[in-house]
Structure 1
Amino acid sequence: MKKFVALGDSFTEGVGDADPVRPNQVRGWADRVAEVLCAEGEWEYANLAVRGKKIGQVINQQLDQALALAPDLVSIYAGGNDILRPKADLDALMRGYAGMVRRFSEAGSTVLLFTGFDTVDSPLFSKTRPRTAIYNEKVREIADEYGALIADYWRWREFSDLRYWAPDRLHMNELGHTLMASKVLDVLGAGQITKENWSAKIQQPSLPELAVNSRGEKLKQELGWAREHLAPWIKRRLTGTSSGDSLSAKYPDYIRLTAGAN
């Protein structure tokens, strides 16, 4: 039996891909990948990711637990919440990140890493683009040193389409997570972790037509977004709280995940 463990923050937990019958009420790309792995091969799956976690928290709260699970494949994506904090020391944080990858590599796990998304088209997050570029170069250096696979989110320009994003504009929606699952399976297939055609098992829904809104409708949408999503996000930053403070990992132990409810 092969084992897949996913570590990280909201991206890997699956925020934006709502599913009320699942733990934490989200599905996400990692669950979708695991569904294919479990259906097509002898795989088990655990997901330790929790929204809001920064690199140091992933290291302190998820690393040892994941190592104890002795995974054949481990995915790691953390750093987005650090990048949003301009005073974070990325060089120091990425040294810790590299240490995490080293420990999995020494334990015999195949490691899958992600570059950060290019926020060039985002009015709110475009200022973080230079920090994300530095983060990405560090990720590539770490991957080169330890032979890790890379899911190159930065270069996947399809995700610039707003139809792949949730109303909060910070997380992918169901369509985005579904596309990401297909992309990840392509990376795993190219790395000979899975069969090359397993990405075809992900059924990608058709994109809806782009809405054409008047200036007044757009302003109303912007005000609604600011009230519903931006203001709570700013409040959490000011108070030092996180949307994941009361949450636990979705799947802390191995399961055989199916496309239905688990």
Structure 2
Amino acid sequence: MTFTRYVALGDSFTEGVGDDAPDLPNGVRGWADRVAAALAHSRPDLEYANLAIRGRKMGPIIDEQVAPAIAMRPDLVTIYAGANDILRPKVDIDAILAAYDAAVERLAASGAHTVLFTAHDPGGWPLFSGLRGRFAIYTEGVREIADRHGATIVDFWRMPDYRDERLWSFDRLHMSPAGHQRMAIAVLDTLGLEHSLVPLTLAPAPDLTVAQQRAENRRWIKEFAAPWIGRRLRGTSSGDGMTARYPEIGRFPG
């Protein structure tokens, strides 16, 4: 397969949060940019748009991103949506999957090759392990949607690499640069595309004492968990007031 017009849709996962790049729009890079760079290496005429915005739930992703994406006439679309819904105290998983199904049907009907992602398996992560059942139901639903519409599925759930904390950023919710690089490789490999990306070299895992681990947990609670919970209680989002990084399709800026 070869692609010349690639549009990425979704939330912080696709926007690139955790892969800091102060010189780029919204201060991040991310796996989608890395995929686009790899595609542009063999197709310098590649055009790219990234409409993802952090914090977006399923409804806003569909309402704000799907129609503009279709209007760009892409031949490749990646979309990841639903995680921010599942993280809320209450969620109707059947309803968000039904909405997702209808959106993917529209994308596939446009002629674009569509790529979906399962959720990451949160088992073993204290903050999110209690939501493992929700994520498992969502993941099976996404598999069914992909089957129904002939979409490619990147199986995040079955990537054991992400048990390594070094593939996650300090907030323990978003991928680190190494995590984004690994995801870019997974997308390209799943599509069967040749590329030269390799995993980033990881620094040795820190060997923390119990006291140091507790101090790090306290810092995480103060700097990330408390503000994150506060936003959920207030009904606000980290993406409020933000715009898409590359809202118009054009020659890959890298």
TM-score w.r.t. the length of structure 2 is 0.96
Partner of 2:159: 156
Q: Is the 8 A contact 1:3 1:73 kept in 2?
A: yes
Q: Is the 8 A contact 2:113 2:151 kept in 1?
A: yes
Distance 1:46 1:64 in 2: 13
Query: What amino acid sits opposite 2:148 in the alignment?
Result: E
Deviation track 1:166-185 (CA, whole Å, cap 9, x = no partner) reads 00000001000011101110
For 2:225, which of 230, 233, 246 is the aligned residue?
230
Question: How far did residue 107 of structure 1 move?
Answer: 1.1
Q: Is the 8 A contact 2:88 2:232 kept in 1?
A: no
Partner of 2:7: 5
* 1:113 is aligned to 2:116: yes
Distance 2:227 2:174 in 1: 15
Distance 2:235 2:114 in 1: 31
Deviation track 1:41-80 (CA, whole Å, cap 9, x = no partner) reads 2421100000000101101111111111111010010111
- SS of 1:121's partner is coil
Count residues in correspondence: 251
Q: Is the 8 A contact 2:30 2:180 kept in 1?
A: yes
Deviation track 1:108-159 (CA, whole Å, cap 9, x = no partner) reads 1110000000000110001111001100111011111100000000001101
For 1:52, which of 45, 52, 55 is the aligned residue?
55
For 1:97, which of 97, 100, 110 is the aligned residue?
100
- SS of 1:175's partner is helix
Q: Is the 8 A contact 1:38 1:258 kept in 2?
A: no
* 1:146 is aligned to 2:146: no
Partner of 1:123: 126
| Structure 1 portions without partners, runs of 5+ | 190-194
- SS of 2:182's partner is helix
- SS of 2:47's partner is strand
Q: Percent identity?
A: 50
Question: How far did residue 258 of structure 1 move?
Answer: 5.1
For 2:171, which of 168, 171, 174 is the aligned residue?
168
Distance 1:138 1:6 in 2: 21
Query: What amino acid sits opposite 1:72 in the alignment?
Result: D
| Structure 2 portions without partners, runs of 5+ | none
For 1:23, which of 22, 25, 44 is the aligned residue?
25
Superposition misfits of 4+ residues, deviation over 2 angstroms: 255-259
RMSD (Å) for aligned C-alpha atoms? 1.1
